[in-house]
Amino acid sequence: MTARTLTGKCFCGAVQYAVADAFTYALNCHCSNCRRTTGSAFKPFAGITRIQFAVTSGRDNLLIHGEEKTHDAHCSVCGSLLYSVVRDGVYVHVAMGTLVDTPTIRPTAHIFVGSKAPWFAITDDLPQYREHVTD
């Protein structure tokens, strides 16, 4: 069975991507890096293997912050954080706010709540973890 394809783009539209609607996890990360790269209280992101993700337009407009196998990818025109390459280059964490289409998955937990912004209150009932999800 082939998953539906979702599209996403940055604020200005210079960078566009396609990703299978087959994310294996989705989380809200409250770490200071995610807060700063997005300018938000937390970053909802969804993880998928890198081969199920592709930049479809504006590859030349990517601003890569980091290394080949671990980096944040922004649009160099408008600055949007689109996705991060993580886990030794095997996974992509899509910044869910850049999706155009609605994914099937929903964030299932809050992570790095230990470094949450003190001015933000979590008001839902999702599990909270001090750092990464632990079983």
Which residues have C-beta within 8 Å of that of residue 106, sequence separation ≥ 6? 26
Tell me whether residue 31 or residue 86 sits nearer to Zn ion (CB atom): 31
Residue whose beta carbon is closest to Zn ion: 75
Alpha-carbon gap, residue 46 to 25, rounded angstroms: 6
Q: How far is the CB of 37 from Zn ion (least distance, A)?
A: 8
Instruction: Give the C-alpha distances (Å, rounded to integers) separating 52 from 8, 27, 39, 41.
Output: 14, 19, 27, 28
Decide the pairing of beta strands 25-29 and 110-111: parallel
Q: Which CB atom, from 6 or from 35, has the smaller least distance to Zn ion?
A: 35
Least spacing, CB of residue 3 vs Zn ion, in Å: 26
For the record, the structure tokens of 75 come out as 């649009």
- Using CA atoms, how far residue 22 sits from 6, 53, 105, 127, in Å, is 10, 10, 8, 22
Residues lying near Zn ion in the complex (CB under 5 A): 10, 12, 14, 29, 31, 34, 75, 77-78
Shorter beta-carbon distance to Zn ion: residue 22 or 116: 116
CB of 45 to Zn ion, least distance (A): 8
State the nearest-atom distance from the C-beta of 135 to Zn ion, in Å. 19
Closer Cβ to Zn ion, 44 or 103, answer by number: 44
